[in-house]
Structure 1
Amino acid sequence: MDRRQFLRSIGVSAVAATTVSVAGSRPITAHPGPFEPLGRIDIDGAKEAVVSADGQTVFVAATSGYAVVDIAAPDHPELLAERRDPLSDREDGPFRGIYDVKLDGDTLLVVGPANPIPGAPAGVLVVDVSDPATPEEIAFHETEFPIHNCFAADGRAYLTANDGDRNPLVVLDTDTGDELGRWSVVSADDRWADVPASVRSVHDVWVREGVAHVALWDAGTWLVDLSDPASPSVLGSVSPGDPEELSGLGARDRRREGRTPPGNHHYVATDDSGDLLGVGIESWAVEVERDDGTTDLVGGPSGVELWDVSDPATPERLSTIEPPASPDPTVGGVWTTAHNFDFRDDRLYTSWYRGGVKRHDVSDPTDPVELAWWRDPERASFWTARYAYPFADEGVFVASSWGVGDASPALYTFPDHAGDQRDPPTLGPETTTESLVNTPTPTPTETTAPEAGGESSESTSTTDAPGFGLGVGAAALGVAGWLARRHRRRD
């Protein structure tokens, strides 16, 4: 019996005393009090987390590297391995800006940088994690574009390739690094070529049975058959936006459009059947000045939409899980908008930054039922929530937090049962933002002052807002300039 089996057997024995049987039904476990985390482990720079097939190992993107955590004993998560500053031996190393990792069997893909970093390598680090405690880096496939997010399946890497032009989804052979194909919304409809690239960034991708579900910010979500990556074909789209309207936006309007609903398709995933699609929409509020000189907030945090995509050509929206209200829904305020999530059976596990993590019953996706909600807005800002594995008579899910202020980034483990948090903290001053959620953006001018030179232009802020893709993270450098520098260095 190995250590994990031993710990699990102890866990089963420990809960046996609290398990009662009811005639004609399966055993019922008495839950040990209020809903709260089982365990927590600090991981500097924690961003995305993914879980092994057996559910007992978590791999965490950690900005300057990646970490491997054993959660076989969920109340005592243990760091198995931590790799910082990979590729430090390269002239342009180390590899950094790592926001995403994905698993394909025993192969871990570590991608980056999430946004352009001058002089740093960009690409896919391929890691053998058949022994999670001793990950072996076996290849690095360099790319000409930053990689904010990716997906791994069947020996292929699906990469968000925001190049500032066509912003394609690129498919690589994981073993060889050869490009197998690419798809861009511009290929599907050339009117998108006139839309600023920052408004139609390819932000994330979910692949199931050869179908890529591609989140394209204000261009919506597109379902693309990539079973033959060299010959992609569009199956359908969800809320694709109007390219003619978007192409006419000025720089300031583009910035506002990229932060406020509608649009802002950030993360997508399907349930086990592939017929239920979740679309996470990441948005904020912006302050605008009206004609009478007063200011107002428009926009606000958004939630997770549930769509029936059993017929991809005619998707049907079934419901929306609304976000927690924020006392200050601006980019500089308290973020409670949707971030990454996970389906398992009839459950949906969601993250809402400082709004916490939630667990929903989506057996009837037209009427999702909230089963649990936990938040600690002064310490935790959750990046993702993922189902892990059944432990004893219930299960475990995990959630990564990128921290708040001086509070450390961390990986949390949670019990997979319904319950209420004891004395839940407020998210801030007792003010409401319900009226701000999904409010259409009016036409008045945003109060942000014009930049030097008197011309309105894209903000050069380096605010670390992950959903903005190139709109914020790359603004100070510019994609074209970044690519030119890379070409000169390689030449």
Structure 2
Amino acid sequence: MKLPRRQFLKLSGTAGLAGFAGVTSARGTDQAESLRLFGDVAVSGALEVSTQGNYAYVATGDGLSVVDWTTPGRPNVVGTMTASAPAGGILDAKVDGDLAALASNGGPGITLVDVSDPTTPTEYGFVDVGHHIHNVFLHEGYAYLTVNESGSGPFSEARTTIVDVSDPTAPTTVGAYRLKDDFPGYAAGGVNPCHDIYVQDDVLYQAFWDAGVVVADVSDPTDPQTITQFGAAPMADTPVGDSFPTERYLTAPGNAHYVQPSPDGSLVYVGAETFPDGFVSNPDNDDYGGIRVFDVSNPASPMELARIDPPNVDAFRTSHNFDVTANRLHASWYDGGVTVHDVSDPANPETLSGYHADGSSFWGAQAARGFTVASDIGGGLVFLHEDTGQQRPPAFEGTARPTTPGIR
């Protein structure tokens, strides 16, 4: 663990949660049918969703769709665009103000899009960083990109690349956080890609798969500095050798897939995309990944408080993407559906409600305007509410439900 070289107050200045002991699991995970469908809209190729105001921005594989949900019961697709080459395999879309960024999992960078008029998203251009980008995050004029090149071994050049996009017509790469700089053992381990990232209050949270989470100070984006690291799997720094260990890569422990802090930064939630041992040969093993809650109020000593388990439904249900507010966590679980959890007591999270529909598989869930906005893979968006709506599946059908292990 490495402490910051700069004076750092954002995390350590928050109210501590010391005194919580042990790790508990969320209660009530069998409440699978209590979220109600308030509205739905078909979005061809739907993958990740980001919300801003009355609009939802959806990655569609080849570009972006914009949904106006001013009236949640009657959402409409009001804008679409197809990204120009060399973009491709767009799994992730993020928005900040009038700018959207699309991550190309099948292309060497990101596409920047003008969404000042959401009905007419217009491409600024492509930022080529020479490697596919699984996820992107926008924060105060900078784009943060997951980059996973192999030099001396698999993922040995895992990093977050930082691009100044304050002028989206002239983006410039200004810095990078490299796992190997402060954690060379993890970089050499071969199972530690930078899978997803989140930025809040000049703090960068990075999910490095089996290496867990690495938190960095990016108040100077040209010179990121390590704050802390936690949640690594026991063998994360053991080199994989000549043969890539697919089983080890996909199964527990480890697999830090998505990360997000609480609004005050005192907690960090870490989701594991974990598949059952021997998934292909033994799909009935229920060792699916959940969401762990860490107290980071003292960056020198992060402490795991609890684990939120997958919903108790008979389906493919490992953790995927989620969203955190001051007292709620909204989570997607692929075929397992969508759940909402009370995290006002972070050491004892409680499942409040859930939505599960046969034929649906959920990529992401966002909290917005009192609703849970979730993306049904390949099909569209659902707008869920705990009190108002119907207990029915969406009117559209998804087209890309996961049937075998894969890093998504």
* TM above 0.5: yes
Amino acid at match of 1:379: G
2:96 is matched with: 104
Deviation by residue 1:374-406 (Cα, 9 ceiling, x = unmatched): 101x321001110111xxxxx222000105xxx
- Counterpart residue type for residue 302 of structure 2: P
* In 2: Cα distance, 1:249 partner to 1:75 partner: 53
User: 1:399 is matched with which residue?
Assistant: 374
In structure 1, list runs of 5 or more residues that go unmatched: 1-32, 88-92, 328-333, 390-394, 404-408, 425-461, 469-491
1:226 to 203, 218, 233: 218
1:166 to 154, 157, 179: 157
Corresponding letter in the other structure for 1:280:
G
Q: Which residue is equivalent to 1:467?
A: 407
Alignment map for 1:87-236 (pairs within 5 Å) = 87=84, 93=85, 95-112=87-104, 114=105, 117=106, 121-164=107-150, 165-174=156-165, 175=167, 176-196=170-190, 199-236=191-228
Where 2:158 maps in the other structure, the secondary structure is: coil
The 2-side partners of 1:287 and 1:37 are apart by: 35
User: Helix, strand or coil for the counterpart of 1:399?
Assistant: strand
Amino acid at match of 2:381: L
- Structure 1: distance between partners of 2:388 and 2:303: 31
- Written as runs of structure 1 = structure 2, the 5 A alignment for 1:278-289 is 278-287=269-278
Query: What secondary structure sits across from 1:246 in the alignment?
Result: coil
1:312 and 2:270 matched: no
Instruction: Answer whether contact 2:186 2:237 (CA < 8 A) is retained.
Output: no
Aligned to 2:60: 62
Q: 2:290 aligns with which of 285, 298, 303?
A: 303
Question: What amino acid maps onto 1:161 in structure 2?
Answer: V
**Is residue 257 of structure 1 aligned with residue 248 of structure 2?**
yes
- 2:265 matched to which residue of 1? 274
Size of the aligned set, in residue pairs, is 360
Shift of 1:99: 0.3
Q: CA deviation at 1:463?
A: 7.8
The yes-or-no answer on 1:365 pairing with 2:356 is: no
Q: What is residue 83 of structure 1 aligned with on the other side?
A: 81
Do the aligned partners of residues 463 and 34 (structure 1) sit closer, same or farther apart at CA in structure 2, a change above 3 Å counting? closer
Letter in 2 for 1:72: T
Q: So what's the TM-score if we normalise by structure 1?
A: 0.68
Are the structure 2 counterparts of residues 364 and 421 from structure 1 closer, same or farther at C-alpha, using a change threshold of 3 Å?
A: farther
**Structure 2 Cα separation of the partners of residues 79 and 295 of structure 1:** 41
1:88-113 CA distance string (max 9 Å, x none)? xxxxx26220000111221111120x
The structure in which a higher percent of residues are strand is 2
The change in CA–CA distance for 1:420 and 1:281 in structure 2 (over 3 A counts) is farther
2:283 and 2:149 map into 1 onto residues whose CA distance is: 35
Q: Distance in 1 between matches of 2:355 and 2:342?
A: 16
Task: Give per-residue Cα distances to partners, 1:189-246, cap 9 Å, x unaligned.
Answer: 22234322xx111100011111111001011111111211222211111212356752
Q: Which amino acid aligns with 2:351?
A: E
CA contact (8 A) 1:374 1:421 kept: no
Unaligned runs of 5+ in 2: 1-32, 151-155, 394-401
CA drift of 1:272 comes to: 1.2
**Distance in 2 separating the partners of 1:124 and 1:295:** 38
Of 320, 324, 343, which residue of structure 2 is paired with 1:339?
320
Q: How many Å apart are 1:35 and its aligned residue?
A: 3.5
Distance 1:419 1:348, change over 3 A: farther
Superposition deviation, residue 150 in structure 1: 1.0
TM-score normalised by the chain length of structure 2: 0.82
Q: Check whether the contact 2:198–2:204 (CA below 8 A) recurs between aligned residues.
A: yes
When residues 421 and 255 of structure 1 are mapped into structure 2, their CA distance, relative to the original with a 3 A threshold, is: farther
Question: Counterpart of 1:50?
Answer: 50
Query: Partners in 2 of 1:369 and 1:276 — Cα distance?
Result: 16
**RMSD over equivalenced CA pairs, Å:** 2.7
Report 1 or 2 for greater relative contact order, CA contacts < 8 Å, sequence distance ≥ 6.
2
Q: Is the 8 A contact 1:270 1:343 kept in 2?
A: yes
Amino acid at match of 2:256: H
